[in-house]
């Protein structure tokens, strides 16, 4: 099984990395692939450009077994729709089980995604639970979960797509928004993200950084 972890990664941080590792281990994924959104359709546009965000993911996972980065969304024009990404992966990889990994916040916004009902035809959906963030009890998202929820983890490896699985992960209160705000205020975000990523941010002068930060 291949896990697909999409996001803006503006920048990638330890909550992305730690939760990805925990999902990779629990689902015994052969590969966990980070796919940065070039032009995220559902939110404000990132501050770092797509190549810089791809570079930061690459630096964050270098030497980490089973983790890879995939730049295919940088090669397409227009909004980076996940449905197009999954369709191109499916064309390329054949019938291998694909697992789309979403935080609960992303799951709650799923009905706004382009052609969202096709996602479950192209991949399994694995939702990282968060305390306080519950699924609605009624509506189209509740219906998707009712139809596709799977209780036995072994079932995921037996078909290429079509199951919804909920997974518990360590709760880490780290966000890219907070890291950008610290940097813009001249404060160091060290230890919230890998040193190699912070060094890259300082070298490139991203997020309003200029010069040395107190705390390194």
Task: Report the residue number, 8 or 52, with the smaller CB distance to ligand ATP.
Answer: 8
Task: Report the residue number, 42 or 76, with the smaller CB distance to ligand ATP.
Answer: 42
From residue 85, alpha-carbon distances to 4, 48, 164, 205 in Å are 10, 21, 19, 30
DSSP 38: S
Q: Does 3 bind ligand ATP (CB under 6 A)?
A: no
Q: Does 7 bind ligand ATP (CB under 6 A)?
A: yes
**What contacts 24, CB < 8 A, 6 or more positions away?**
3, 32, 66, 67
Q: Does 176 bind ligand ATP (CB under 6 A)?
A: yes
The position carrying tokens 């930061």 is 56
CB of 57 to ligand ATP, least distance (A): 10
Q: Does 19 bind ligand ATP (CB under 6 A)?
A: yes
CB of 19 to ligand ATP, least distance (A): 5
Whether omega for the bond prior to residue 69 falls within 30 degrees of 0, making it cis, is no
Binding site for ligand ATP (CB under 6 A): 7-10, 15-16, 19, 102-103, 105-106, 128, 172, 174-177
């Amino acid at each position: 099984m291949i896990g697909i972890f999409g996001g803006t990664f503006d920048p990638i941080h330890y909550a992305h990395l730690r939760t990805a590792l925990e999902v990779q281990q629990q689902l015994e994924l052969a590969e966990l692939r980070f796919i940065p959104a070039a032009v995220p359709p559902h939110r404000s546009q990132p501050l770092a450009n797509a190549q810089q965000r791809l570079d930061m993911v690459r630096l964050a996972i270098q030497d980490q077994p089973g983790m890879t980065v995939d730049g295919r969304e940088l090669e397409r024009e227009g909004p980076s729709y996940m449905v197009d990404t999954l369709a191109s992966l499916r064309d390329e990889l054949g019938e291998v089980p694909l697992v789309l990994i979403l935080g609960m916040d992303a799951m709650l916004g799923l009905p706004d995604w382009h052609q969202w009902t096709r996602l479950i035809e192209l991949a399994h959906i694995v939702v990282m639970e968060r305390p306080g963030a519950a699924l609605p009890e009624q509506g189209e998202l509740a219906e998707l979960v009712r139809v596709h929820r799977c209780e036995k983890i072994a079932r995921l490896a037996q078909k290429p797509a079509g199951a919804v699985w909920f997974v518990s992960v360590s709760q880490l209160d780290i966000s890219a928004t907070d890291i950008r705000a610290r940097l813009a205020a001249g404060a160091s975000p060290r230890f919230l993200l890998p040193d190699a990523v912070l060094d890259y941010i300082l070298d490139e002068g991203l997020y309003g950084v200029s010069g040395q930060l107190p705390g390194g």
